[in-house]
Structure 1
């Protein structure tokens, strides 16, 4: 249980997204975009029942969605909208026995026109140079198992 209003409750989980938006837009500009309604940041649970027309929608950390959550999100897409789903299937935090909605969506949606799946590698990392080496080390370890 986290005290506070909805925004205060979800802010800790959305911090990485805010960090990226602040870096791209600046904190003040981001705030203005939110106030005008140009940018909305909302938890996945609050998407149910919505239709998002004329929107660019991003679902981040999608490896931690369930299949049901992923389907719900993808079916919110309205007219003149695009959706981008990001996630890293090597960083799934779901309880044992729960299948990642991202993994399921990749399998189910492959081959549908206008749905494109792109895979990034350690070479795409734009963090500290050691992060690429860390990723490679974990990949080598996983191959040995």
Structure 2
């Protein structure tokens, strides 16, 4: 009798653990797609010390719902650049928006605003596909305002 009781308890605990395993994205939006890459900072962008990638926001959302963040993402500092990976993305060909938001701490030595190139674009992932998207953060010289004085 004790063996049967123990067996039932073990099986019910295993079934409960398997049934409650879901991600923050709700489980229904998960897939096997992954986006990975690096973000390189130009020489004039600073800071490049410590964990300077911690404020970097790389995210994937449905194109029609930018507030619904999908997948499980990580961003790491590696070799004076940032590497990222977003896994468990929908992989049924759904159109997904990809965005990169730079930390406010990143500054340009020449006073310009740091910019990301190329511009992040939409993507569609197939089952078990890994898409690589690399970016560069650079500084463009601030544009001088032209005078419109009349002679």
- TM value normalised by structure 2: 0.21
Q: Which structure has the higher relative contact order (CA within 8 Å, separation 6+)?
A: 2
Structure having the higher helix fraction is 1
- TM value normalised by structure 1: 0.22
Structure having the higher strand fraction is 2
